[in-house]
């Protein structure tokens, strides 16, 4: 009987927490009203939440590009960098938050790279200089990336006080964070971020690649 009561209580708490958790829609646009893709929307609990268990993510090298262009992970996440191309790549980053190098390789490296400090990490290939991507490492468990329509979605955000931050690789300036209060009801956030156009470097025909 005691065990059944404990199971019932745990189930009740789980459903109660889910019922109270909020859904948040964040729409990010330029000052002119155009949707912003690949923007990071971070909601930081106040006070800070305990760090989650170690997570994993993947950034592929495909068709001589790094995919996806922007990845957001929580501090301590291990990222795999599989090379899907039929030739070698030489991946590197000199960023303060994570500096590393995976020299000329094919297939999947034997060990992932652990991103153990918060901050922005720029990625590149030492062979193909048009290849670029970004990793944003955050301490918060609540983060999302906007799609082509500028929309980022959050599910099951517990009610409370949060610090909202925006980030984009091409942002013209760093925005000051703002404080938001999240309740149980769905929330819509309309956000403005001024970014510069992304300059996509041209790449030569694949026949010219001998690596």
pLDDT in tens, 96-132: 999 999 999 999 999 999 999 999 999 999 999 999 9
Mean pLDDT of 51-65: 89
3-state secondary structure of 207: helix
What's the predicted TM-score (pTM) here?
A: 0.87
CA trace torsion 23, 166, 147, 119 (10° rounding): -110
Residue 6 is predicted with a pLDDT of 37
Q: Based on the domain organization, do 54 and 44 belong to the same domain?
A: no
Q: Based on the domain organization, do 152 and 182 belong to the same domain?
A: yes
Residue 13 is predicted with a pLDDT of 36
The encoded tokens of residue 29 equal 């646009």
Residue 4 is predicted with a pLDDT of 37
Domain that holds residue 104: 50-139
Segment holding 16, helix H or strand E: helix 2-20
Q: Give the pLDDT confidence of 130-182 residue by residue, as tens digits.
A: 999 999 999 999 999 999 999 999 998 999 999 999 999 999 999 999 999 99
CA trace torsion 66, 191, 154, 164 (10° rounding): 90
Q: Is 123 exposed, middle or buried (0-12, 13-18, 19+ CB in 10 A)?
A: buried
CB 24 within 8 Å of CB 186: yes
Q: Is the pLDDT of residue 19 over 80?
A: no
Q: How far apart are CA 161 and CA 163, in angstroms?
A: 7
Segment holding 193, helix H or strand E: none
The CATH number that applies at residue 30 is 2.60.40.1120
Q: Based on the domain organization, do 55 and 94 belong to the same domain?
A: yes
Q: Based on the domain organization, do 54 and 133 belong to the same domain?
A: yes
Q: What is the mean pLDDT of the chain?
A: 88
């Amino acid at each position: 009987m005691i065990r059944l009561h404990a199971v019932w209580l745990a189930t009740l708490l789980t459903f109660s927490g889910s019922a109270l958790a909020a859904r948040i829609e964040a729409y990010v646009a330029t000052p002119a009203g155009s949707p912003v893709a690949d923007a990071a929307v971070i909601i930081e609990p106040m006070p800070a939440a305990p760090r989650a268990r170690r997570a994993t993510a993947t950034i592929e090298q495909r068709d001589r590009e790094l995919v996806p262009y922007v990845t957001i992970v929580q501090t301590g996440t291990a990222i795999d960098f599989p090379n899907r191309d039929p030739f070698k790549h030489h991946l590197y980053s000199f960023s303060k938050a994570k500096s590393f190098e995976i020299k000329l390789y094919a297939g999947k490296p034997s060990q992932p790279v652990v991103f153990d400090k918060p901050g922005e990490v720029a990625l590149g290939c030492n062979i193909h200089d048009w290849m670029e991507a970004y990793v944003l490492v955050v301490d918060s468990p609540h983060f999302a990336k906007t799609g082509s329509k500028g929309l980022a979605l959050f599910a099951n955000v517990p009610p409370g006080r949060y610090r909202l931050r925006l980030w984009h690789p091409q942002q013209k300036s760093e925005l000051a964070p703002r404080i938001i209060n999240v309740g149980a009801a769905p929330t819509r956030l309309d956000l403005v971020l001024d970014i510069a156009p992304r300059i996509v470097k041209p790449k030569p025909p694949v026949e010219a690649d001998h690596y």
